[in-house]
Structure 1
Amino acid sequence: MKLKSFCVTAIFTVAAFFASLASASEQPTGATTAPVTNAHFQVEPVSDEWRAGLPRDADAATKAYLDRLSPEIVSRANAYFEGGYWLHLWNFLLGLVITTILISGKRAARVRDWSQRVGRKPFLRDMLFGAFYSVAGFCLSLPLSIYQGYVREHDYGMATQTFIPWFVEQLVGLGVNTVGLAVAVAILYAVMRRVGAGWWVWGASVSGGLLVVVLLIGPVWIDPLFNTYKPVENGAIKSAVLAMAKADGVPVDNVYEFDASRQTTRISANVSGIFGSAAVRLNDNLLRRTTLPEIRAVMGHELGHYVLNHIYKMIAEFVLILLAAFLFAQWAMAKLLVRYGERFALKGVTDVASLPLLSAVFSVFMFFATPVTNTLIRVQEIEADRFGLNLAREPHGAAEAFLKLTEYRKPDPGPIEEIIFFDHPSTRFRVHDAMRWREAMGTP
């Protein structure tokens, strides 16, 4: 249940460009394929009588739900999620190391000069450099990427691919990122050269424009490279989701599923779309691992993102963050280039060879802005949860789905920990919200 799964991915793809630039108790009717589940994560199912017999008090009902998570499940979820804190740090530090490797020995300058000889024109030169930077970042970060994306996911039972299919998808992603980065770098540096000292303001504006482009082309051209999309066959599920969508004016006439089980055991869904378009998409794990009430709860949440215009709000918020990041970069790059520019043959901030250094400056800003970006997303997730409860009216369905998300999210963090590291509310917070809604509405 991510914030418009694709949209968040798109936002962070563009944000990462400027930050690092590298890098159920019952099956729904009609599910004919065996569910892909995590052998390490099995929450015992309960009956409708158990749910009806829960205390009316939200705190007590929340405790009853969380008590269904065994100590082993909680321990494993905590270890997985807390390990992500360290991975966030290691990725940040690795980005700085990659920058050091690329600019030391005047390597970036030599690639710039080669790009100039081959491309001749500034725009083509910068495209070539951007493509080089994408491939170099991929290669230098590959060991950590293999551990983080393949080895670790298999260790925790969430990955379903063998290595070769997984690596092929990484190469496809590299191709997409290389083309996108080449074009983005060329546009960015063309704007920077033209506007002079005000480059940081225009840089944030260009980033916002690029973000919108990614949101427009991603669902149509990029997502199908990794998964197959087809209409949901289950009539009850499709009817329920379309009824909720039409009740809130979401312009869709079909519901699609995609084969995420090829890659993962995780459940997810999204409602993507911008400028009046919309597409409702559920992954096959959600269809096969959850009941109809859970699916209604999940899709009520996802429809909430669309109806509440979260994507537009998120774009505006991230453009403001990027504006601050560019301002920081203007200050930092001025100082760094004075001190190290001649040493590394960098001719100024508009020299594309300084891209690795600009990348490092952005990564520093975005690393320390993590609590801010996480909080912005988390607040919208809470809003979508509450919208979904009012739309689907399935507090137990929501709570059951939230328990399943414990597979990869620490269920009960401390308040400061949640603010800093969580881009979604914790399991305890979300289940309590559902039980509070149940208490207030007087439902069973």
Structure 2
Amino acid sequence: MRLFLFATLGLLGALPGLAHAAAAFDVDHATRLWLATLSAPARARSDAYFEGGEWLALWNTVFSVALCWFLLRVRLLPKVRGAMHRRGWRPWLGVLACALVFIAADSLLSLPWTFYTAYWRERQYGLMNQSVLAWLGDQAIGFVLGAVLGSVLLLVIYAVIRKYPKHWWLIGTGVVGAAIAFLALITPVFIVPLFNTQSELPDGAVRARVVAMARAYNVPSEHIYLVDESRQSDRISANVSGIGPTIRISLNDNLLKKTSVAETAAVMGHELGHYVLGHVWRTIVVLTLLMGLLLWLASRIAPAMIRYGGQRWDVRGLADPASLPVLAGVLSVLTLLAMPLTNTLIRIDESEADAFGLAAAREPDGFASAAMRLSAYRKIAPGPLEEMLFFDHPSGQTRVRMAMQWKKDHVPGATEVVPPPLPDPKP
């Protein structure tokens, strides 16, 4: 009995030591060590870039609405519609002509603004590797692609509006959903190669690690593609894209060149999570439903605006293809207003993929390091409201803290690391 009491007292005496060992890893301190790898000048630069992008969301909408108003004032599409009618062209050809003219006018008139936001500003922050000519070449490819796919989509939408004037938004939602799914299907196989070269990822530690994780979760891994996105920028990225027969694992060459095997494994674990958790299909459904809400609102707002414009715009109703600037302007504003909701829905998926990736790769420090690298163009530590409104991914601070918490919970004898400073971004 005395021996039992001594043993019990000894065990109780050891408990504080055991508790101390379990609590030795300080999540907050470990998180601060990672955040400290970002220098003050680099952090100020990152914050300025991201906060400027928040304002750009507003100014892009203002510019789009102003452009639509200008096209209405000059009656560009009514002139195209009238010309098609005088030539006796079929109504669907008139819609197609209006759609092509609208897409062309929108692209050409907005080119200076697009040049500033997508090229000059990116160049100022050291995020653009292309020359002006190479960038313009990609823009030309994007224009042709947008003109073909966009005009076909608008042709179908306006056919639905003519046939079902009261409930066109409901059927239009299904059309948009089918279009989103179609784009998800063809993008990795037909669209990405228009802008970048894809090659098989060479054998080595990275490929072996990715294949092992993919096989563990039954993700198709016969082919893993390396994309030469360094020709455009230094951003790191990867994805499991496509649906059905076009599913493929891809990573860009920046990820391969600039990160360690642990970082790459953490990033790829996250991307595999999107596939395993069914995020592609969930995103298609969610975006379709959200677009349905926007189309329903547009079906109420756009006709009222057309009545307001009256003879000044020469738009005869929503079924008139000349109403395209009205519909586009209304949807631009609604999309901006829906941005916090859209960001939140996407951020939920991203957070789930983060948790999956940590469990799949078991590289919490690699995950934290990769999250810090994204600080080149993402504000690392926003306030809660800013993160909710403007972030479509968890912030770097949120991700690092998640990684450190996972490390404490799942790595026996977890210890802090003192990571080296991040290199300052190029000017």
**What is the TM-score when the length of structure 1 is the normalising length?**
0.86
2:303 to 321, 331, 334: 334
Q: Does the 8 A contact of 2:189 with 2:246 survive in 1?
A: no
Give me the whole-angstrom Cα distance separating, in 1, the residues matched to 2:177 and 2:96: 20
Q: Could you tell me how far apart the structure 2 residues matched to 1:61 and 1:114 are? A: 68
CA drift of 1:112 comes to 2.0
User: Which of 122, 125, 135 is the aligned partner of 2:104?
Assistant: 135
Q: Does 1:436 align with 2:405?
A: yes
Tell me the CA shift for residue 317 of structure 1: 0.9
| Pick aligned residue for 2:321 from 352, 364, 376 | 352
Over 3 Å counting, the alpha-carbon distance change for 1:262 and 1:237 in structure 2 is same
Tell me the CA shift for residue 148 of structure 1. Answer: 1.1
One of 38, 51, 60 as aligned partner of 1:69: 38
Q: Secondary structure at the match of 1:257?
A: strand
Larger Rg: 2
C-alpha offsets along residues 219-268 of structure 1, whole Å, 9 cap, x if unaligned?
11111010000001142211110111111011221211010010001000
TM-aligned CA distance change 1:160 to 1:172, over 3 Å: same
SS of structure 2 residue aligned to 1:249: coil
Give, as a single letter, the amino acid of the residue that structure 1 aligns with 2:381.
D
Q: What amino acid is aligned across from residue 65 of structure 1 in structure 2? A: W
* Number of the residue aligned with 1:150: 119
Partner residue of 1:89?
Answer: 58
From 306, 309, 312, the counterpart of 2:278? 309
Any idea what the Cα deviations from partners look like across 1:75-134, whole Å, max 9, x if unmatched?
000000001011111110000111111111322211222344568122222122111111
**SS of corresponding position for 1:303:** helix
The equivalent of 1:188 in structure 2 is 157
Preserved CA contact (<8 Å) 1:118 1:125: no
Change (3 A) 1:100 1:288: same
Q: CA RMSD in A?
A: 1.4
Deviates more, 1:286-295 or 1:200-209: 200-209
Which residue is 2:380 aligned to? 411
Instruction: Name 2:90's counterpart in structure 1.
Output: 121
Q: How many residues align?
A: 391
Residue aligned with 1:280, SS: strand
Instruction: Give deviations 1:369-425, integer Å, cap 9, x for gaps.
Output: 110000011111000000000000000110010010000000000000001111111
- In 1: Cα distance, 2:183 partner to 2:81 partner: 27
The SS at the match of 1:342 is helix
Name the SS for the 2:240 alignment partner. Answer: strand
Which residue is 2:417 aligned to?
none
Aligned equivalent of 1:322:
291
Q: 1:400 aligns with which of 340, 352, 369?
A: 369
Name the CA shift for 1:77/1:369 in 2 (closer, same or farther; >3 Å). Answer: same
Gaps of 5+ in 1: 1-53
Change (3 A) 1:79 1:181: same
Shift of 1:343: 2.5
Single out whichever of 335-344 and 192-201 deviates more from structure 2.
Answer: 335-344
Listed as ranges, the gaps of 5+ residues in structure 2 are: 1-22, 415-427
Cα–Cα, structure 1 residues 119 and 238, in superposed 2: closer, same or farther, change >3 Å?
farther
What secondary structure does 1:348 align onto? coil
More divergent stretch after superposition (328-337 vs 394-403): 328-337
SS of the equivalent of 2:164 reads: helix
Higher mean C-alpha deviation, range 267-276 or range 375-384:
267-276
Question: Residue type matched to 1:145 in 2?
Answer: T
Pick the aligned partner of 1:426 from 369, 380, 395: 395
Contact 2:46 / 2:377 at 8 angstroms: preserved in 1?
yes
For the Cα contact (< 8 Å) 1:99–1:360, is it kept in 2?
A: yes
Deviates more, 1:137-146 or 1:291-300: 137-146
Distance 2:155 2:119 in 1: 32
* Structure 2 counterparts to residues 146-225 of structure 1, below 5 A: 146-225=115-194
* Conserved? CA contact 2:306–2:326, under 8 Å: no
User: How much has 1:341 moved relative to structure 2?
Assistant: 3.2
SS of equivalent residue, structure 1 residue 296: helix
Structure-2 change in CA distance of 1:423 and 1:126 (3 Å): same
Residue matched to 1:13: none
The residue type paired with residue 143 of structure 2 is: L
Contact 1:250 1:278 in 2 (8 A): no
Deviation at 1:273, TM superposition (A): 2.0
SS of equivalent to 1:343: helix
| Matched position secondary structure for 1:347 | coil
Distance change >3 Å, CA 341–CA 79, structure 1 → 2: same
Q: Which residue of 2 aligns with 1:51?
A: none
One-letter amino acid matched to 1:272: S
Preserved contact between residue 115 and residue 129 of structure 1 (Cα < 8 Å): no
Instruction: Kindly provide the amino acid, as one letter, of the partner of residue 388 in structure 2.
Output: I
